[in-house]
Amino acid sequence: MSGRMRLVFAGTPDFAVPGLEAALASGHEVVAVYTQPDRPAGRGRQLAASPVKQRALAAGVPVLQPQTLRDAQAQAELAALAPDLMIVIAYGLILPKKVLVIPRHGCWNVHASLLPRWRGAAPIQRALLAGDRETGVCLMQMEAGLDTGPVILEAATPIHDDDTGQTLHDRLSALGAQVLGDGLQRLANGLLPAAQAQPADGVTYAHKLEKSESQLDWSQPAAVLDRTIRAFEPWPGTQADVAGEALRIWQARPLDQPHAAAPGTVLRAGRDGIDIACGEGALRLLGVQRAGGRRIGVADYLNGRPTLLSS
């Protein structure tokens, strides 16, 4: 096929904004943007527009914010737009079968993993937690199952030793926009590769992050704790007991350091870091945050707890 398509875009958070930019820049017409209803945000709990809504309004694109796509009225509104394709990136609402068949070319989803690994809500953080050495994005033809559809295009990126949930989020967001732009161009030119069914082997699920996971357990290996701190940056963050004080830990690095100390023991504290005994190795804390305080480096923290300093 060739010619200008009518696109509908559905997304909500920052992660989806580069994808919307790619759709706007594709030369096709973005006839509407779907995003979740405005939510209370900030200290005043005022209703706030999603990042996708803000970008759509700036571009002059009509915005629709139904509570659900399961009712007949919402489905009729979508059908009235006569979309050729619906693009879904981190929208946050389930698309029932009746919606999936409305656009002429169905619905595409950009998912932040190399499927079938890490289907589900938190693929970026789960890949980091598991110690995966690479991840990526998939452009998928949506079907009724959770991230089960056939894959049209994909792109991989290495996971670096200093990657956090935020850095990987930003890289995959940009990579997803590139893959989407490529897919739109190929579809318009009649050169889209046939979607490949996902293999049955290698399926894992990226369950939603829970705040209860943010408490560090010093009996775990230092390498695992390091991955947890990085994966949960910026949310939900990690907390730990350090010499009797509950701290938020936002920067650390693992040390391959043998010791006979009980997990949680302070092995050494200096201006360059606080070394904590772990079940295997040690973790050097580099950046912390006290209750009600701001993020500070360990040197500043030790100014307030000089008795911790190693002689």
Could you list the pLDDT tens digit for every one of the 311 residues in the chain?
Answer: 457 999 999 999 999 999 999 999 999 999 999 999 999 988 888 999 999 999 999 999 999 999 999 999 999 999 999 999 999 999 999 899 999 999 999 999 999 999 999 999 999 999 999 999 999 999 999 999 999 999 999 999 999 999 999 999 999 999 999 999 999 999 999 999 999 999 999 999 999 999 999 999 999 999 999 999 999 999 999 999 999 999 999 999 999 999 999 999 999 999 999 999 999 999 999 999 999 999 999 999 999 999 999 85
Phi, psi at residue 128, to the nearest 5°? -65, -45
Nearest to 169 by CA among 112, 101, 84, 229: 112
Q: Determine the pLDDT at residue 55.
A: 98
pLDDT at 289: 97
12: phi then psi, degrees, rounded to nearest 5: -135, -55
Q: Tell me: do 150 and 218 sit in the same domain.
A: no
Q: How far is CA 83 from CA 8, 53, 98, 266, in A?
A: 6, 19, 14, 61
Q: Are residues 198 and 259 in the same domain?
A: no
Domain that holds residue 165: 6-206
User: Hunting for tokens 């209860």 — which residue is that?
Assistant: 212
Strands 282-289 and 273-277 turn out to be: antiparallel
- pLDDT for 45 equals 87
Question: Can you say which residues are annotated as belonging to the binding site for (6S)-5,6,7,8-tetrahydrofolate?
Answer: 113-116
- Same domain for 181 and 236? no
End-of-domain residue from the set 154, 186, 206: 206
Last residue of a domain, one of 206, 229, 262: 206
Residue 78 counted as domain residue: yes
Residue 42 has a pLDDT of 81
Give the model's pLDDT for residue 71: 94
How far apart are alpha carbons 125 and 132 in whole angstroms? Answer: 10
In the DSSP assignment, the letter for residue 271 is T
Per the structure, the count of domains in the chain is 2
Q: Which of 65, 61, 69 is nearest to 7 (CA)?
A: 61
Instruction: Note whether 134 and 48 are same-domain residues.
Output: yes
Name the residue with tokens 């300093």.
309
pTM of the model: 0.95
Q: Does residue 50 sit in helix, strand or coil?
A: coil
- Contact (CB, 8 A) for 56 and 33: yes
Same domain for 112 and 238, yes or no, is: no
User: Whose structure tokens read 């049955």?
Assistant: 200
Are 243 and 181 within one domain? no
Instruction: Quote the CA–CA distance of 238 and 226 in Å, as a whole number.
Output: 10
Separation of alpha carbons 245 and 241, rounded Å: 5
Residue 212, token pair as written in the block = 């209860």
Indicate which CATH number applies to the domain containing 115.
3.40.50.170
* Binding positions: 113-116
